[in-house]
Amino acid sequence: MTGLLAMFVDGRPSADRWPLDRGLQYGDGLFETMVVRQGRIRFEALHRARLARGCQVLRIAADHTAV
C-alpha cells in the first residue's frame, strides 16, 4: 500500500474502502418508531418524509415505495 496514510485492519495493511464507512466509524444510521393503531401507522406520511430525508442526508439508497 502506498500513499501518505496507511490503513490497517486486524494488523494488516488494507486498501479496502469499508473501514472508511461513516456508519462504521460513527454509528450513523436512522430509525423511526411508529405507533400502530387498528393496523394503521399513525402519521405515516410524516414518518415516510422523515425517513426519506434521513436517508438523503446519510446517503443511504432506499426504495421508499417498498419500505
In whole angstroms, what is the distance from residue 27 CA to residue 17 CA? 16
Q: What is the model's pLDDT at position 34? A: 92
Question: Among 26, 5, 29, 28, which residue's Cα sits nearest to residue 15?
Answer: 5
d(CA 34, CA 37): 10
pLDDT tens digit string along 3-50?
A: 557 788 888 888 887 777 777 788 778 888 999 999 999 999 999 999
**Alpha-helical regions (H) of the chain:** 22-26, 44-58
- Evaluate if pTM is beyond 0.95: no
Tell me the pLDDT tens digit for each residue of 36-49: 999 999 999 999 99
**Grid cell digits, residue 50:** 422523515
